[in-house]
Structure 1
Amino acid sequence: MKNILFIVLAFFAIVSNSQMLSTSGTNIINDNNEEVLLRGVGLGGWMLQEGYMMNSNGAADTQHEFKTKLIELIGETETQIFYDNWLENFITETDIDSIASFGYNSVRLAMHYNLFTLPIQDEPIEGENTWLTKGFEMVDELLDWCEANQIYLILDLHAAPGGQGYDQPISDYDPSLPSLWESDFNKSKTVALWAQLANRYKDEPWIGGYDLINEVNWNLGTYDLRNLYVDITNAIRAVDTNHILFIEGNWFANDFTGLTPPWDSNMVYSFHKYWTYNDTASIQWVLDMRNQYNIPLWCGESGENSNVWYTEAIKLFEDNNIGWSWWPYKRIETTVAPFSISSNPNYEAIINYWKGEAAPPSVSNAIQGLSQLTNDLLIQNTTYFKDVIDAQLRQPQDQTHIPYKNHTIPGVIYMSDFDLGTNGVAYSDIDYANYSLSTGSFAAWNSGWNYRNDGVDISSNSDTFNSNGYHVAYVQDQEWMNYTVNIEQSGFYHLNVRYASPQSGGILKLFLDDIDISENINLYNSGGWSNFVNGVEENIYLEAGTRILKVQIIGNVEFNLSSIEFISSTDPEPPFQPLGATVLENEKTIRLTLNHPLQDNQSILLEYFDVKINGESKTIESIQFDSLNSRVILIEMVDFLYHQQNITLDHIGGVFNSIFNDVLPQLVNFQVANNLPSRIYIPGKIEAEDFINQSGLQTENTSDSGGGLNVGWTDIGDFAEYQVYVGETGIYDLNLRTSAQSQQGILQFEIINNESTQSLGWFSIPITGGWQSWTTNTFETNLDKGVYTLKMTILQPGFNINWFEFIYSDENLSVNDFHINKDEMAKVFPNPVTEKFNVKVSKDNQIQEIMLFDVNGRTVHLNEIKINSNEAQLIIPEIDNGVYLLSIVTKDGNYFKRVLKTQY
């Protein structure tokens, strides 16, 4: 009776937590009408073995080839034992427990039809279906595990009867037999299989839905795929009206020709995404489809890339309310999945034999290799990549870094154990993702392919001193890694830097909480890439607490970096001296870092320091001790600093005392590291394609003088951003080099800094009669000295832009001393204006018409206009103070100037 009561209570507990999924508009919801964002993994490689996942590509690309060759090598009985063990061990209850514990809420099961029914050529009676129990029993057991963990199981027909695509490994397609599309028997078997599955699982709430056919890739008529989908839908709906249907397009899921509009009220469009840029433009086509048809989206498959790419893509999906399933969960010898299965020499001997690269292995060795492989499928025998899971589940919504391992100082820190986080946060590496479908060429995000799936290149080693078996390799200038460390006691430490290199000249530098703790650490020829030695660095001061240690590469001399050991120093304190100086990100402040902490309550005067730019002393605004770090002095300049400047620092010496009662000596021409971002200098010319960020615009080759590229394909709201340094405050001529075939355009320029956004004006783009018929129009604008993001926004489209140029204009010229160069086009003076002002163009030009407009585009009637060839004088009426636009029509072109009207 107690057992019966327990079963009943357990049943009701499961039912009460049951959350059947369905669609509501563009959302997937559960029974409680709560939105559900699917976050899942694909169980590829279990029911269907693709060659690349078996490391047998080039030897046995498809499952049927693999199995046939295996039978030839070890016989049918041992082959069946291998497959039984494979299916038994690849996914177990422990796998599903782990998947749920990580935070995933779904799994996508890649099914091979031949576990559920016979191939059509093996049916005893043509056109009938023999049902096999193996596949159904596997799904039953998997569903039990999912239900126990309250995660959804999505059934994916990955290999349909006959195979659904030319890409053979994906669906185990055999070109010698009729494909799904070449056989009505295969189609009817596919429909019947879905009817069987739907009838079996129609009332199961933890079945998330049915992914009808994976990645079709076949030349089909417009409605061929839709017709089969509709037949499957009708068969499913005859027995199951509850579950979601996930619909993939042709050509690897992404061609929905003929598949719109939806034909079922509980449907989701499923796309796949691999190796493309992770911007909104890359998924705009599916967003448009969702909005047009009011239907949810799901990225049913993505992956096989770097952690950076994973984080970017998943953030893109989740920011747009799109669920996802990542591929794969587990495969042989990989870094891209949460779990990697170890290969072994006996298994590799089989593959090498099939490739024709080795003699056939003995049957006993082959069986032993296969047995070892299937034993290593078990999750407890795999290699766990927590960095992959962190990149998928935490980093998309948390742009911080967290410890990969616990690091304590004193102690050894292994360089491969840098923090978890994305590029630019936990580390910085030049190569970090593969965008080959956008760029047209493959780019490896890693040169070591070991230990982790981040951009940092990690290789293995056999060193036995201060080594975990891995080291950072293939280093490049300015790359760095962050390590969260616990420093037990403040004081000086000696360092053993474990490295290997066949050449001298390698340099690294250490920072704590982004403040220098070392000078450049020089590394020398150790005798080879694998010959690791200790580089000793003495008396580095560290402050106690939880800190961020940064290890940065300086220069382009490569070396392998294994570990850094921190040992408490018992030596006398080293002499008081600077460790380095650098320009901070605000582009005005120089940070001077010292190797001793400073005493409190010391005076500090501007006269103590002299900052020179390219050898010339410049004005200091303020100097202060850093309240957050007693080893730092902050020197703020009056003017912004520029990335091309050579900056040095002088100090009188003898005025600052350290906590060890040592005095900071005199400094002469102490070099300041200037790693400021590159900015375009104004006054100057800016090529339109030299943006740092843009949306909606494209570039093309231009036939304009000078060649190069122009920016085009403009639409309303498109924009481009440029990093600029404005050298002087004043009035500037703005020359715009544009073309427009048949439509007048308008663009806006804004300058943006941390404090404000200022519009420079709206500028009209004239029709030139052709996309490569170029003209230069001149406007006038005011700029304040400083560093900015210059933003160009399209307000009215239909034009190309090649370049724009800011030319500094002296605002204090009078009529008598005014001279104009031919290149300066047109001048307005005085400006600001009270009543009268003058216009002058070059001597060989001629003014034809002048008009004044207010900010709303309305004409302001001038009291008097006197035009004399290339000069004119104008008298304006009593109008409101403010900015007006002056149109100057000449025989050489049109010019536009901003005029500021002030009080009489």
Structure 2
Amino acid sequence: MQQNRTAMLDFLAVRGSDLVDAGGAPVRLAGVGLGGWMNMENFITGYPGNEQAIRRLMLDRMGREAYDAFFDAFSRDFFDEVDAAHLAALGFNSVRIPFNYRHFEDDAVPFELNEEGFERLDRVVTLLARHGIYSILDLHALPGRQNQHWHSDNPTHIAEFWNQRHFQDRVVHLWEAIADRFKDRPEVAGYNPINEPSDPTGEVLPVFYERLERAIRAVDPGHVLFLDGNRYSTDFSFLDARAEPMPNTVYTAHDYALPGITSATAYPGVTRGEYFDRSVVEQTFLRRTEYMRRTGTPIWIGEFGPVYSSDRSQDHWRLQLLQDQLEVYRQHGASWALWTYKDIGLQGLVTASPESAYLQLVGDLVDKKRRLGIDSWGGSDAGIREVLDPIDALFDREFPDYAPYPWGRQPHIAVLVRHILLAEPLAEQFADRFRGADLEQVRELAGSFRFDACDQRAGLSEVLRAHLRA
């Protein structure tokens, strides 16, 4: 049975505005992102700051043996056979798998690739295929950092990837190796080489995409490329000078709807002075996918989805927003990957239980993060306005026209003050909680993310199940 389902997965290819299987039948990818697994993010697993910093601190507090035992168990428990079966039962046919380059390469020995990273990725690709689910391989964090935020494992606010050829060479080298590893694997729908690039000039990205496309195609001419737009996959103007799209390529937009990611209180309703309903959601989608529709290429929404509050009674309007987005995507023939599968309660279909060993250990620090607005995603600055208001007033007086890339002054200040300055000491406190944990304890902590130990967001699962079966 499992082998037959795997055999059902054909190589996919681009034909006009469709992805098609080996027989030429259109395929719509309906999937979810596996955030937090091979690319840990702070809001997904609870730590403050960026992944490499918290790993360094945890290693210092735990020692090598306990540290390795924890992360080995976490890697297995966060996604295993039962998780793949659950996604198949809901009706998903694809999973976008984000990963950090650090699983494959150490900065101290660049260009020397680690087999362990490939084995870890291969395990989940194989599990998903066993249940008839395609994988899209997503390099989510690049050496040098391809954008200005935490999800590229960036401890600063500078995306150095675009400034240094060395980092670009390493990414080409890594993708050549990945392509060689998976070139004969039809269960891989394709490669998503750079998550949410944010090239301030807009000039390096198109040149690098062309270089990367040539390098990958030389090794693997068959797999589809999924290429994100600039400015966090929302801007495709860098392609305007290109005569035609790259062959066998899908250009992918990310489509987070504003009411779902801010402190909105209703949908349909007013968010930041603008009325949002289904028609506005659709217009945003149409704007973000204009390049794909103009060039007659497939549409894949690589990330979207609301964040949820701790008050489940408020989920109903967020789920309505999600339903509207799903219906818009269906109407326009778009494939999609919802963000994200599993976390500690903000967006996941499956969430670690508040009673789990892990959240019993660090839950109060997660609350402290929330109070101080340390997480960018799903966070609020309401608790530290006494700090931010004087800074805003200073900029109003001294630098009123300052609008740094990519999102302007206030988000830039938030990165520097909340997501870096305040995150650094809290990361120390977070790591301290793991000091002295023995092997049995660390495996219990990692086991908090096992499917059978987690809760399910029932309303979200039901919306997705109903849509996927319709």
TM-score bracket, shorter-length normalisation: 0.7 to 0.9
Structure 1 counterpart of 2:333: 321
**Aligned ranges 1:358-373 → 2 under 5 Å:** 361=433, 363-364=435-436, 370-373=442-445
The separation in 1 between residues aligned to 2:350 and 2:328, in whole angstroms, is 24
TM-superposed CA distance for 1:140, in Å, is 1.6
TM-superposed CA distance for 1:371, in Å, is 3.8
Structure 1 counterpart of 2:216: 236
Match of 2:348 among 314, 337, 355: 337
Higher helix residue share: 2
Structure 2 counterpart of 1:69: 57
Structure 1 counterpart of 2:96: 108
TM-superposed CA distance for 1:291, in Å, is 3.0
TM-superposed CA distance for 1:259, in Å, is 2.4
TM-superposed CA distance for 1:199, in Å, is 1.2
TM-superposed CA distance for 1:346, in Å, is 2.1
Structure 1 counterpart of 2:165: 184
Give 1:283's aligned amino acid.
Answer: F
Structure 2 counterpart of 1:752: none
Give 1:325's aligned amino acid.
Answer: A
The separation in 2 between residues aligned to 1:367 and 1:347, in whole angstroms, is 18
SS in 1 for 2:89: helix
The separation in 1 between residues aligned to 2:464 and 2:226, in whole angstroms, is 22
**Aligned ranges 1:83-482 → 2 under 5 Å:** 83-119=71-107, 122-123=108-109, 129-167=111-149, 169-175=150-156, 179-220=160-201, 222-260=202-240, 261=242, 262-276=244-258, 277=276, 278-279=278-279, 280-305=282-307, 306-334=318-346, 336-342=347-353, 343-348=358-363, 354=426, 361=433, 363-364=435-436, 370-395=442-467
TM-superposed CA distance for 1:83, in Å, is 1.6
Give 2:462's aligned amino acid.
Answer: D
Structure 1 pair 137–202 and aligned structure 2 pair: CA distance change class (3 A): same
Give 2:53's aligned amino acid.
Answer: E
TM-superposed CA distance for 1:98, in Å, is 1.2
Give 2:164's aligned amino acid.
Answer: S
Structure 1 counterpart of 2:25: 34
Deviations 1:265-298 (A, max 9, x none): 1011100011335432112224432232121110
Higher relative contact order (CA 8 A, sep 6+): 2
Structure 2 counterpart of 1:50: 41
The separation in 2 between residues aligned to 1:268 and 1:358, in whole angstroms, is 40
The separation in 1 between residues aligned to 2:102 and 2:319, in whole angstroms, is 34
The separation in 1 between residues aligned to 2:158 and 2:248, in whole angstroms, is 35
- 8 A contact 2:143–2:167 mirrored in 1: yes
The separation in 1 between residues aligned to 2:154 and 2:2, in whole angstroms, is 44
Give 1:61's aligned amino acid.
Answer: G
**Aligned ranges 1:660-675 → 2 under 5 Å:** none
Structure 1 pair 52–362 and aligned structure 2 pair: CA distance change class (3 A): closer
The separation in 2 between residues aligned to 1:239 and 1:93, in whole angstroms, is 30
Deviations 1:407-463 (A, max 9, x none): xxxxxxxxxxxxxxxxxxxxxxxxxxxxxxxxxxxxxxxxxxxxxxxxxxxxxxxxx
The separation in 2 between residues aligned to 1:51 and 1:358, in whole angstroms, is 11
Query: Where in structure 1 do 4 or more consecutive aligned residues deviate above 4 Å?
Result: 13-16, 349-353, 355-362, 365-370, 395-398
- 8 A contact 2:58–2:434 mirrored in 1: no
Deviations 1:49-69 (A, max 9, x none): 11111223xxx3100121122
The separation in 1 between residues aligned to 2:113 and 2:302, in whole angstroms, is 27
The separation in 2 between residues aligned to 1:239 and 1:359, in whole angstroms, is 42
Structure 1 counterpart of 2:272: none
TM-superposed CA distance for 1:117, in Å, is 1.7
TM-superposed CA distance for 1:250, in Å, is 1.2
Structure 1 pair 358–114 and aligned structure 2 pair: CA distance change class (3 A): closer
Q: Which is greater in Rg? A: 1
**Aligned ranges 1:621-640 → 2 under 5 Å:** none
The separation in 2 between residues aligned to 1:16 and 1:82, in whole angstroms, is 35
TM-superposed CA distance for 1:231, in Å, is 1.1
SS in 2 for 1:170: helix
TM-superposed CA distance for 1:26, in Å, is 0.7
SS in 2 for 1:144: helix
The separation in 1 between residues aligned to 2:437 and 2:338, in whole angstroms, is 35
Give 1:363's aligned amino acid.
Answer: R
TM-superposed CA distance for 1:376, in Å, is 1.2
The separation in 2 between residues aligned to 1:113 and 1:173, in whole angstroms, is 12
The separation in 1 between residues aligned to 2:79 and 2:65, in whole angstroms, is 23
Count of residues in correspondence between the two structures: 377
SS in 2 for 1:245: strand
SS in 1 for 2:106: coil
Higher strand residue share: 1
Deviations 1:499-550 (A, max 9, x none): xxxxxxxxxxxxxxxxxxxxxxxxxxxxxxxxxxxxxxxxxxxxxxxxxxxx
Structure 2 counterpart of 1:630: none
Structure 1 pair 202–311 and aligned structure 2 pair: CA distance change class (3 A): same
Give 1:136's aligned amino acid.
Answer: F
- 8 A contact 2:91–2:468 mirrored in 1: no
The separation in 1 between residues aligned to 2:100 and 2:289, in whole angstroms, is 31
Deviations 1:687-741 (A, max 9, x none): xxxxxxxxxxxxxxxxxxxxxxxxxxxxxxxxxxxxxxxxxxxxxxxxxxxxxxx
TM-superposed CA distance for 1:176, in Å, is 9.7
TM-superposed CA distance for 1:172, in Å, is 0.3
- 8 A contact 1:349–1:361 mirrored in 2: no
TM-superposed CA distance for 1:390, in Å, is 1.8
- 8 A contact 1:215–1:249 mirrored in 2: yes
Structure 1 pair 367–51 and aligned structure 2 pair: CA distance change class (3 A): farther
**Aligned ranges 1:719-868 → 2 under 5 Å:** none
The separation in 2 between residues aligned to 1:226 and 1:74, in whole angstroms, is 43
- 8 A contact 2:13–2:19 mirrored in 1: yes
Structure 1 pair 186–362 and aligned structure 2 pair: CA distance change class (3 A): closer
The separation in 1 between residues aligned to 2:434 and 2:180, in whole angstroms, is 47
How high is the sequence identity, in percent, across the aligned residues? 24
Provide structure 2 residue ranges, at least 5 long, that are not aligned to the other structure: 259-275, 308-317, 369-424
SS in 1 for 2:232: helix
SS in 2 for 1:66: helix
- 8 A contact 1:95–1:379 mirrored in 2: yes
The separation in 1 between residues aligned to 2:434 and 2:77, in whole angstroms, is 25
- 8 A contact 2:161–2:167 mirrored in 1: yes
- 8 A contact 2:11–2:22 mirrored in 1: yes
- 8 A contact 1:315–1:396 mirrored in 2: no
Give 1:107's aligned amino acid.
Answer: V
Deviations 1:482-514 (A, max 9, x none): xxxxxxxxxxxxxxxxxxxxxxxxxxxxxxxxx
Structure 1 pair 182–287 and aligned structure 2 pair: CA distance change class (3 A): closer
Deviations 1:596-648 (A, max 9, x none): xxxxxxxxxxxxxxxxxxxxxxxxxxxxxxxxxxxxxxxxxxxxxxxxxxxxx
The separation in 2 between residues aligned to 1:360 and 1:376, in whole angstroms, is 19
The alignment's TM-score, normalised by the length of structure 2, stands at: 0.74
SS in 2 for 1:20: coil
Give 1:29's aligned amino acid.
Answer: V
TM-superposed CA distance for 1:365, in Å, is 5.7
- 8 A contact 2:146–2:159 mirrored in 1: no
The separation in 2 between residues aligned to 1:359 and 1:67, in whole angstroms, is 9
